[in-house]
Structure 1
Amino acid sequence: MAKRVLPGLLLSLALALPAAADPMLKGFDYDWPVQQAKIRSQDQDLTMAYLDVRPAKANGQVVALLHGKNFCAGSWEGAIKALTAAGYRVIAPDQIGFCKSAKPERYQYGLHTLAANTKSLLDQLGVTRPIVVGHSMGGMLAARYALQYPDAVERLVLVNPIGLEDWRALGVPNATVDQLFAGELKQDAAKIRAYQKATYYAGTWKPEYDRWVEMLASMYQGEGGRTVAWHQALTSDMVFNQPVVHELQNLKVSTTLFVGEKDNTAIGKDRAPEALKATLGDYKRLGPEAAAKIPGAQLITYPDLGHTPQVQDPERFHRDLLGALAAR
């Protein structure tokens, strides 16, 4: 009688295969054709991967979806399907340094730079005033984009954005890029899965979540994994040192904030003193505090969901997202 192989073991075995290991995610397909744009940034020509998905019946509006640090353009697949079905054209880039986009040997990361790269892409596509939706680090980036280009944003949607508290100012010790790099080199599927279960899905797990573990973990495999780990370290440094919380009151666009209240994301939490650690990443508190700072913001909360409500309960989230966009 054949022995049953557990799904988690299958995932671990799959990630160990050289064919699945690629820092440019060549072995991981998105649900739509990936296109490449040329952008000029920091005195070099770079390629920026993106999805441009058009609806069968257009409503004339464009949504730009900005992914989080441990996510990619393809991670938005549920939202892309829901938005295009409702008539929205959707553009979802992979930011420079992530997923299927260029990972240059030298690059100084800043949210303002990623915002400029995104603006360059949208300009090339003739998109002048999109609805900008950002999740996690992408929420930080979306806020920076709206602050940087207030006349080029129709609406702003932030989904469990990080940067709603200033970790360094609160007392979390900084870390050098070398220290962050050493930590990134230790990443594997098991660690990624454990972190996502505790933070993204409020301690729950479904088999469909394994796909996103595979996507992320595959980039760390093989020789190219050092390149991915280096860029992940650089962007961790960026996120830690560039919180947006101090500027939320300066947003001038209509904003909706979605918050899964069981989220506990806080970059650098593992370095914090125990007493401080217990207070960080409290989205049940951070969500209302952030909404109060943003002029006229709408707050939609999910008491039972974690960091990724769009994945954990897609039907509920997409219904609420489309409702918020319709109620202009």
Structure 2
Amino acid sequence: MPRFAIAFCTALLAFAPTMVPAAEAPREPYGINLEGFSYPYPVNLLPLVNDGERLRMAYMDVAPAQPNGRTVLLLHGRNFPSSYWAPVIRTLTEAGFRVVVPDQVGFGKSSKPSGELHFDTLARNTMTLLDHLGIAKADVVAHSMGGMLAVRIARAYPDRVAHLVLTAPIGLEDYRLSVPPISSETIMENEDRLTADGYRKQLQTNYAMKLPPEQVTPFIDTRFNLKDSADYPRWLKSFVSSYQMIYREPVVHEIPLLTQPTLFIMGADDHNAPGRPNAPEALRARMGQNAELSKALASQMRDARAEVIANAGHLVFLDAPAKYDALLLEFLGK
């Protein structure tokens, strides 16, 4: 090769950017509405107005191949986007159900409002979605915080709910009786200091997770891959508001008043109790006895029962999918 060509190539290499293997390349941060994070089915957006603020509610509307004429509404928990319902969506659509899966305002791909979150507002939003889709009545299947919302929906709109499945719900006790009030500023500071590794340990401890690490990672990503977003402070404010909603708006006193056929599906190892670390030490041990609490509440209700799945935690439908699906389909088939 001529000498000038060698010199030219050497110069190019000197100024060329260092090649970084694809696996090590930094990821573009998600937006606070989880832009950049994929859902298992197409996502639609419903315009809403809450307290004078224009918002959008994201939802999946999944049609079965062979419809049975019924619709299931899936309600997610606080720490999870609605995409985690994917296995249950598949089970239900294969059984003929149309499945509607919203992200509540303040969560997932829905808008993060500037104001406070309230269960009554989320319930109205959900009814607006069903009206928009032309659904007069649905079976409601809810998890964790979604269970609290489902109770509020069933009480406020009893004619819209056919069956109610409360999957490892929180709100089976009034947390105000054990946990002192905490300012949003304090919670925000604590949440902002949390690392991805600390959050993984928190989920594994609080939720008694049985999932392999690779199945937990998407939950970590949906929180920490948006920390570099310019709108992260607004996401954090909304997330903290959801804790205050759970704390300030208990539903346990309404559960015995439910009239719809209701099934609790609990993980035997689920002892999740929001705010427990802030409770006096003498009260912490009695909090989060969720399987026993569900049985006690079911015994006070008109038409309810509680099923407890062994070796399962808070994410019972992912920890024990076969047992969960069997209970779910048997109950909805009645």
Normalised by the length of structure 2, the TM-score is 0.89
Secondary structure in 1 matching 2:308? strand
User: Residues 54-80 of structure 1: CA distance to partner in whole angstroms, max 9, x if unpaired?
Assistant: 000000000000000001121111110
SS in 2 for 1:68: coil
**Unaligned runs of at least 5 residues, structure 1:** 1-12
1:267 corresponds to which letter in structure 2?
A: P
In 2, distance between residues paired with 1:265 and 1:289?
A: 17
Asked if residue 114 in structure 1 is aligned to residue 122 in structure 2, the reply is: yes
Contact between 2:209 and 2:315, CA under 8 Å: does it hold in 1? Answer: no
In structure 2, what residue type is equivalent to 1:21? Y
Structure whose alpha-carbon radius of gyration is higher:
2
**What SS does the aligned partner of 1:26 have?**
coil
Corresponding position: 1:150 with 2:151: no
In 2, Cα distance between equivalents of 1:272 and 1:24: 32
Q: Which amino acid aligns with 1:314?
A: P
CA distance in 2, matches of 1:14, 1:130: 44
**Aligned-CA RMSD value:** 1.9
Separation in 1 of the partners of 2:193 and 2:93? 38
Alpha-carbon distance, 1:206 to partner: 4.3
Match of 1:209 in 2: 216
Aligned twin of 1:32: 41
- Report how far residue 193 of structure 1 moved: 1.1
> 3-state SS of the aligned residue for 2:107?
coil
* TM-score (norm. length: structure 1): 0.90
> What is the deviation of 1:18?
4.9
Match of 1:246, SS? coil
1:311 aligns to what?
318
Name the structure 2 match of 1:134. Answer: 142
Report whether the alignment pairs 1:102 with 2:95: no
Deviations, residues 86-106 of structure 1 (Å, cap 9, x unaligned): 10000000100111101122x
> How many residues of Structure 1 are paired with residues of Structure 2 in the alignment?
313
Query: How far apart are 1:23 and its partner, in Å?
Result: 1.1
CA distance in 2, matches of 1:191, 1:320: 34
- Residues 38 and 45 in structure 1, CA contact (< 8 A), matched pair in contact too: yes
Q: Secondary structure of the residue that 1:256 maps to in structure 2?
A: strand
The reply on whether 1:292 has 2:299 as its aligned counterpart is: yes
Q: Say which SS state the counterpart of residue 315 (structure 1) adopts.
A: helix
Pair 1:54-2:63 in alignment: yes
Letter in 1 for 2:149: L
Task: Provide the rounded CA distance (Å) in 1 between the counterparts of 2:191 and 2:213.
Answer: 25
Aligned twin of 1:84:
93
- Counterpart residue identity of residue 276, structure 1: L
SS at match of 1:275: helix
Matches within 5 A, 1:221-236: 221-236=228-243
